[in-house]
């Protein structure tokens, strides 16, 4: 690895240490369905988002709720204290397309219809409100 690449890699690694996040990979539902749930909670305070996810009828909301709890736990582990109400918010939540399993379903007259079983990857980054206010001042 060249010196320039090593420096930028170390810089990225240092930036990731300051941010608390959680990643869920290979969720067996389409990215479109998961993005609908992600859009509901984007930018919300985390405990309010947990309430929204808990009472949502979507199947994907249960998985996002569990992932959000993991991100909160990661933040608490890094900062060595419990998160208080109104302190954390969802900075970014992104849903990326995962691997697609391609299957064939029998169809009339000897044909086969293609079925695409999609999957997705979800990433949640949580941050404190106070840190954002300090950067703006």
Predicted confidence (pLDDT) per residue in 76-94, tens digit: 999 889 988 889 999 999 9
Residue 14 lies in a domain: no
Residue 92 lies in a domain: yes
pLDDT band for 112, please (50, 70, 90 cuts): very high
Between CA 82 and CA 73 the distance in angstroms is 9
- Lowest average pLDDT, out of 12-16, 48-52, 90-94, 110-114, goes to 12-16
**CATH number of the CATH domain containing 54:** 3.90.470.10
Residue 124 lies in a domain: yes
Which of 136, 57, 122, 120 has its CA nearest to residue 90?
Answer: 122
In this model, does residue 16 exceed pLDDT 70?
yes
Residue 15 lies in a domain: no
pLDDT band for 130, please (50, 70, 90 cuts): confident
Quote the pTM value: 0.84
Residue 38 lies in a domain: yes
Q: Please report which residue ranges of 1-137 form alpha helices under DSSP H.
A: 3-18, 31-41, 46-54, 59-79, 129-136
**In 10 A of CB 112, how many CB atoms?**
10
Residue 129 lies in a domain: yes
Q: pLDDT, tens digit, for every residue of 57-70?
A: 999 999 999 999 99
- Planar angle of CA 34, 84, 75, nearest 5 degrees: 55
Residue 6 lies in a domain: no
Domain that residue 36 falls in: 21-136
Please tell me the predicted confidence (pLDDT) of residue 132: 56
Count of domains observed in the chain: 1
Residue 1 lies in a domain: no
Contact 30, 120 (CB under 8 A): yes
């Amino acid at each position: 690895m060249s010196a320039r690449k090593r420096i930028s890699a170390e810089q990225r690694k240092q930036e990731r240490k300051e941010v608390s996040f959680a990643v869920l990979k290979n969720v067996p539902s389409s990215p479109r369905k998961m993005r609908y749930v992600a859009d509901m909670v984007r930018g919300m305070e985390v405990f309010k988002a947990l309430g929204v996810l808990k009472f949502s009828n979507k199947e994907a909301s249960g998985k996002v709720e569990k992932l959000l709890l993991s991100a909160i736990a990661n933040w608490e582990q890094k900062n060595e204290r419990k998160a208080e109400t109104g302190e954390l918010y969802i900075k970014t939540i992104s849903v990326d397309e995962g691997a697609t399993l391609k299957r064939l379903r029998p169809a009339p007259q000897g044909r086969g219809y293609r079925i695409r079983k999609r999957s997705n990857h979800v990433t949640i980054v949580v941050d404190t409100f106070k840190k954002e206010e300090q950067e703006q001042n």
